[in-house]
Amino acid sequence: KNRVNGGDQLRRGESPPPPVDLRDAAAPLPLPPPPRASPLPAGRRRGHLHRRQRHLGRLHGLLPHQLHRPLLLLLLKRYGFSLLRMNSFVQEMLQKFMLYYNVFESRPVFDNVEEMLKWSGLYGLTRRTLEEELIDAGLNTQTISELVTVITRINYGQSTSISGLAGAVSLAGSESGLWSIKGGNWQLAAGLLKTSNTTLHLQEGIESISDAGDYYVLKSNKGHEYNCTVTVVATPLDEVNITFVPPISIPPRKMQHTHTTFVRGLLDPKFFGLSSASDIPELIGTMELPNIPFSCISVRKKHSEHDMTYKIFSRAKLEDALLDQIFSTRKETIRIDWPAYPHYQAPEDFAPIILDGRHLYYVNTFESAASAMETGAVAAENVARLIISRLPLKLRAGLPSPPEEGRIKSFAGEEEGSRRVDL
């Protein structure tokens, strides 16, 4: 997910901010000095080089494979061992998160997010900011204010004041070895819908959910009514207008808005303090400075040397006057504004998973911990198991039959105060 926070918009009639020399904001890496003869004896030089090779090998796993060794050396020179400490911080989080992928027998079912996070050891990361966690992990302030900030602005549109867990997930999304689906990740959702034989009602929104005793009545904006034994809300409730009868109570949560702007044209090198468009990198990340109007710019598609499609993330709408300064030519512009993910802060508050004490469930409360495809899948799987564990056996009998390898066993047990079922 690429999501960005709201910020100050330009008012109509106002002049856009002056061009920004992003060389100052990006704090460019210094050029390496010419090689010098080492004063160390040959044996000590060899041991020193072996240690350097080990560190470079670890950096290769931390950073994108496209980076050449000279750039790796520059990064190590600028940020030192903070790069390795950052990698250790992320790997520790991932090891704990992977516990949610263990076999069913080893995992309880959770009826609240707090217990779910405490079980994996991740709850503490939601109580403090990313910056606080990274300082304790031994990262220097330069690495946090430059490299880490660029990553969190790209992935969540926010600074290092976000919670530690959201920040760790953001950093994990910047590492090498990530996967995507050829043709677009939308195929994952399409495949899940097809596999589950779900009836999909596109362009139809739910306006109200009413408790009718043994079932819920869902009324849509198309005038239809649906009677459901179990209802799962799988969208953030923060900016949708759904009436609940009786009313529900959840803590307030702000959503970050991504202003995504697609532009076909060519960037103006003068805006970036450069002399030629060929000097502009394919990805421009920015630091947390008030005079920078966007979080990042990346090349989406290269049509020719002077014709490209760019994707821009910003916290506010980019007006035409500003875009005309950023681009030397602009053939087509598409703008999309959407509430992409929560505005993270520490400590985080979580809405209940069970909204009414019965069978009205909320998947997106887990999104207050971190927002990604993986966190959404983990949260949804827990809700599915929670539903099965709480449904009376007579109602379970009416559920669609799962595949043979996914049959529901009749066993439901208690484990350390949490209900558990085997699927």
* β-sheet with 283-285: strand ranges across: 283-285, 296-304, 307-314, 255-267, 327-342
Domain count, the chain: 2
Assess whether 163 and 272 both reside in one domain: no
Cis amide prior to 347 (ω within 30 degrees): yes
Q: Is residue 265 part of a domain?
A: yes
Cα distance between residue 114 and residue 394, in whole Å: 31
Assess whether 168 and 61 both reside in one domain: yes
Lowest average pLDDT, out of 33-37, 187-191, 347-351, goes to 33-37
**What backbone torsions phi and psi does residue 415 show, to the nearest 5 degrees?**
-140, 110
When the pLDDT of each residue in the chain is averaged and rounded to a whole number, the result is 82
Domain-terminating residue out of 150, 172, 194: 172
Q: Is residue 66 part of a domain?
A: yes
Domain-terminating residue out of 283, 312, 342: 342
Q: How far apart are the first and last CA of the chain?
A: 29
Q: Is residue 273 part of a domain?
A: yes
What whole-number percentage of the chain has pLDDT above 90?
A: 69
Q: Is residue 163 part of a domain?
A: yes
pLDDT of residue 262: 98
- In the structure encoding, which two tokens stand for residue 423, read together? 């699927």
The range of the structural domain enclosing residue 261 comes to 255-342
Q: Is residue 365 part of a domain?
A: no
Mean pLDDT of the 94-120 span: 96
Q: Is residue 262 part of a domain?
A: yes
User: What residues contact 15, with CB distance under 8 A and at least 6 apart?
Assistant: 321
pLDDT of residue 398: 58
Q: Is residue 123 part of a domain?
A: yes
Assess whether 69 and 162 both reside in one domain: yes
Mean pLDDT of the 145-151 span: 95
Cα distance between residue 210 and residue 217, in whole Å: 5
Three-state SS across 130-162? HHHHHHHCCCCHHHHHHHHHHHHHHHCCCCCCC
Are 327 and 262 in contact by the 8 Å Cβ rule? The answer is no
For the whole model, what pTM was predicted? Answer: 0.77
* β-sheet with 225-228: strand ranges across: 225-228, 216-220, 206-211, 243-245
Q: Is 414 helix (H, G, I), strand (E, B) or coil?
A: strand
- In the structure encoding, which two tokens stand for residue 266, read together? 């060519």
Q: Is residue 1 part of a domain?
A: no
Q: Report pLDDT digits (tens) over 239-257.
A: 999 999 999 999 999 999 9
Domain-terminating residue out of 172, 187, 219: 172
